[in-house]
A = this chain, B = another copy of it.
Amino acid sequence: MGSLATLFAPERVAVVGASDEEGSVGHAVTRNLLEHFAGSVVAVNPNQEAVLGLSCYDSLSEADAVDVAVVAVPPAVAVDVVREAGEVGVENVVVITAGFSEAGSEGAARERDLVAIAEEYDLNLVGPNSLGVMSTGVGLNATFAPTHPTSGSVSFMSQSGAFVTAVLDWAADRSLGFKDVVSLGNKAVLDEGDFVREWGDDPDTDVILGYLEDVADGRAFLEAAGEVTRETPVVLVKSGRTDAGASAAASHTGAIAGSDRAYEAGFRQAGVLRVETVQELFDAAAILAGQPLPDAEAVAIVTNAGGPGVLTTDAVGDTDLELASFADATLDRLDAELPEGANVYNPVDIIGDAPVERFETATDIVLGDPNVGMAVVLACPTATLSFSDLADAVVRQQETHGTPLAAVLMGGRSTQSAADRLAAAGVPTYFDPSRAVRSLETLAEYARVRERPPAEPTAFEVDRERARAVLDRARDRGADRLGVEAMDLLEAYGIPTPDGEVVDDPAAAERVAERLGDEVVMKVVSPDILHKSDIGGVEVGVPSGEVRQTFETLVARARRYQPDARVLGVQVQELLDTDAGTETIVGVTRDPQFGPLVMFGLGGIFVEVLEDTTFRVAPVGERDARAMLEEIDAAPLLHGARGREPVDTDALAEVIGRISQLATDFPAIAELDINPVLATAEGATAVDLRLTLEEEP
């Protein structure tokens, strides 16, 4: 158990602001606690004698050995109450009171006080502006919500209190049970990362669910989640995905939203399953809590109705799962057991007159097939079929084989008791086959998270001091935008660059050019000119005889374009045959929540028109760098599509890893674009770069 064990399993809970007044929060919290809590409840309210039969204490200091103080007093008093809790040694505080950072500058100041007190006394503080916390293990309902959850293995946190109420009301009709429920409120102290870590350590929590509008500390959260998801699935809705949603979220919580691509990338790296809708959230919870993980991704379908069997097959085709191909022995057994007109191939159609026995036989046979990793059993109502008996048979087969299974019962009220029976055994049921298949895909996705290699970033050997010197020199001359003159930075981090030098006179240019071959690339070097090619500041394929003259021309153009530009010289560079390779882009931006975000894509129209890009939160390990290369739509072009030579993906992945390390080592780098990184069969070379430094703090 983690450090929040007492918060969720206290022996003694005090309600500060307990009240006899119907409709007040203090009344609702006290009543909820009294109704179910296995421990003792203490009422604190200096203005009342007794509340709901409990005699009132005037203050927390009078109540002995309180494990959790629930604070439901006006905001002006709440801070003092929390301080008192700290003074008398209460370790856990749930601040229901609103009127903090969500309510203007006065509230924000109040919240800062709260944080300072929590730090001083090392308090586990939930909220403020929280609906409260629940834990079914000890019957704890320290909220003002009207519904007490049924007991189960799902723990749930929500940044919206209303959403908690809604979900509990909704879940009451269904068989989704909860272990702990937390309304995060303003997350002044405890946040999503703390609860993910806590529930990761909780043997009674099998699935962690969350509704989030932002993540307070992106990197800390990813670190916690990355550890936890190796053992316990974490499924999140993160709202504010779309532009409209993000601005609505900002006005709702006041949070500065990081970019959604950073959330998307970070969650994926940490193994968090991100879903988009409420229905998906609870479908994921039900199957992860109820079914084992699959050891293969091939799905078997057993149905008494051909058409819905085809729909189910389409649903499999929509996922990353595949339709199982049965072993010959399976086909032989099905052939022997099923009547004429049945289809023994997947989807197995046991036809409309099938009684429960035929369903059970067919399910038994396909679950015994070594190729089958998961199954859907689908039944339409017929005169010969009892849904309840079918439920028993399905549960029996699922338990016998230990293969994950979802049921589709294509009817209305007539399926209800069967659905309840299946749900009690952890088998989810649906009317719509596509939801059943999507749920199985969730299981497979989580199985992949468990099985994948760790994401440890490679620690490349680099010359950090040399890189620092490049950045320091830039600072010294007041530059915050760097171009090719900073290629040294890449070299310091072991990223191949074209051979070349920056020179400051024509004779030196000629000397360098001679060494580099028949033709060279020449670029004017000036921190003040960002778009060099636009002003004619780049010449490609300069023959040896024209190097001197070109030096003069480039410098002259730069002066003409911008008389006050500082011209540091001209870069003379080996001419790479770009037609012989594939131009790619590796970039870094900085996200307010997650820090450096590394981008990969192909050059030109691929990034600029098709937006065919992929992102990761740095540090990017080899596993993720390689995955990035495969995720773009244009990936086949890296592997030799249309007669090209396949590029050296090892080298390209290494460039991504080294850039990630550079961006992580130097927070001063606000933006970095290496465009292009020329990938060939022999390696990957950074040809040009642009870099923006943070303004000095």
Contacts and interface: CB of A to CB of B under 8 A. Distances in A.
The number of times this chain is found in the oligomer is 2
A548 to B, nearest CB: 31
Given A243-B317, A412-B172, A349 B252 contact: yes
Contact of A162 (B249, B252, B308, B322): B308
A413 interface: yes
A172 B413 contact: yes
B412 A311 contact: no
A278 B343 CA distance: 23
Contacts of A213: 307, 310
A251 interface: yes
Given A166-B381, A411-B166, A634-B605, A276 B308 contact: no
Given A412-B170, A431-B170, A244 B162 contact: no
Interface centre among A240, A277, A310, A637 (most CB of B within 10 A): A310
Interface in A595-630: 604-605, 608-610
A380 interface: yes
A105 interface: no
B636 A170 contact: no
Contact of A314 (B103, B242, B641): B242
B609 A244 contact: no
Chain A interface bracket (under 10, 10 to 19, 20 to 34, 35 or more): 35 or more
A146 B23 contact: no
A349 B160 CA distance: 13
Nearest to A411: B169
A172 to B, nearest CB: 5
A323 B636 contact: no
Nearest to A167: B410
Nearest to A317: B242
Nearest to A239: B310
A174 interface: yes
Interface in A368-425: 380-383, 410-415
B412 A173 contact: yes
A633 B166 CA distance: 40
Contact of A307 (B158, B432, B435): B158
Interface string A235-269: 00101111111001101110000000000000000
B317 A279 contact: no
A684 B103 CA distance: 61
Given A161-B307, A170-B410, 12 more contacts: A163-B308, A166-B308, A172-B413, A174-B412, A244-B323, A248-B313, A251-B345, A276-B318, A278-B431, A279-B434, A608-B641, A609-B637
Interface of A: 23, 28, 103, 146, 158-163, 165-167, 169-174, 211, 213, 237, 239-245, 248-249, 251-253, 276-279, 304-311, 313-318, 322-323, 341, 343, 345, 347, 349, 352, 380-383, 410-415, 431-435, 604-605, 608-610, 633-634, 636-637, 641-642
Closest 5 interchain pairs by CB?
A160-B307, A242-B317, A162-B305, A166-B410, A245-B314
